[in-house]
Structure 1
């Protein structure tokens, strides 16, 4: 138990360093971008005095490190600042958009694993069959399709050509279908491929042959010995998929005019709204660290080999 707690503390410390590094790098990139956010939001014919007054009001006249220090101090107090373009609290802006992104990504993630895990298991069990070959071809195609191309293709087919589904917005259950498919299908292919390869590897191990030799049924061997071991990397992939889906939602939400956090980030970058961009990316970084840490901790709990390695490191 002590080894596991030490490992948890170590991962949390590493995660905090990652979040801090991401915040500094992002702050640097945003301030190196060409243009001035004050000139973007104010009247282009505004006097120099007005521009300087606004820059001083938003703290943009101070040195870079001083600006970063002020921003980081406010974040530690729970204040993400105010939007330069609207004047609203960044926290309230994100809070209004985050539920839409969360519902979209969680729906895509759950459907992805509910579909891909049994398909990957069955494809490995029926290796070299027509079903297995079809799965290999389909996953290869889906993995090569980028989010934006898939989203546009689905709109052209199901909305423009047949008029079956809404093109944009979050107007009801039907409006979830195309964005969820856009997010889910490429990641589903990756999950199916990993599940299939893990099951094939486990089927070649000695303990599986021993289980068959003991007279266990096909179903018992697949559930107790194969699926249980194959779920370890699949579980890790479940948590690692969270940041990927949130990243993919930026493009997906823009294509489908989805009122989520990804679309807000896209708009904020285009007008150099520093506080909003920094707040959203900071949240994504925290979610990434939390999800990967949970994946590592669950791996340690599910796989006894990880616990042995931890004891060796402590020794």
Structure 2
């Protein structure tokens, strides 16, 4: 499987930020099991199950990832993936948001969901003896979200406040400006939180359509690590997700942005410190020059040890 990815390393003040045009080739994992090995199984409907057995781990970790994120968005619905992820953990057809949190807490763990640039995820942890129950909870959140209208409006308003707050933070303003200059019309030009003008117009019906489009087994990977047996995890995955009808994930029809022209921009934002960020499109992860560029980025902008920081200080 090949995931084409454009990322922006959002590093700290005074650090070189490299925008990467990446092609990540994920190796095909053998369908094997045993301590320390990762077993891979594809269910009949296309959902992929990864299991890493760790017989001494006191905690089990569950991650359900899917092909949904900024890369599949447009300016008209920017931020809808992150909004959807915040909604799925706020209620199912049988549990409200508080009950979901309390259920994970009783298992000695937690559950959360995020939407990012290249993927979205529901992640959870629990004591190993509760691995079946936490898997049930993840499946319930993923497959039976209720998305009540009142909660939808509250979460959307929360995100709009966060977007407004970004405009008051010098570092966020600098990084957002850099991303817009580097990526242009590409979806990576905006933060996964989205854009004010798009989130204000997103309705619950659009959120449900986005859910149906992306929560399909062909674009989902379930990963489980801990004191578990691969065969048992696969059996539970089939029980929970096997009834989903086969469907492929939507295509991400975006092209890499052209290299931007050299530019420099100074913005006035109230704050105690000035923020300096720099960036450029960099080689793909598979390119011969990528390791050298990564090392160069660390030398020049590697935090307080970077040469840019030392020179400015």
TM-score in same-fold range (> 0.5): no
TM-score by length of 1: 0.23
Larger fraction in strand: 2
Larger RCO of the pair (alpha carbons < 8 Å, separation 6+): 2
TM-score by length of 2: 0.23
**Which structure has the larger Rg over C-alpha atoms?**
1
Larger fraction in helix: 1
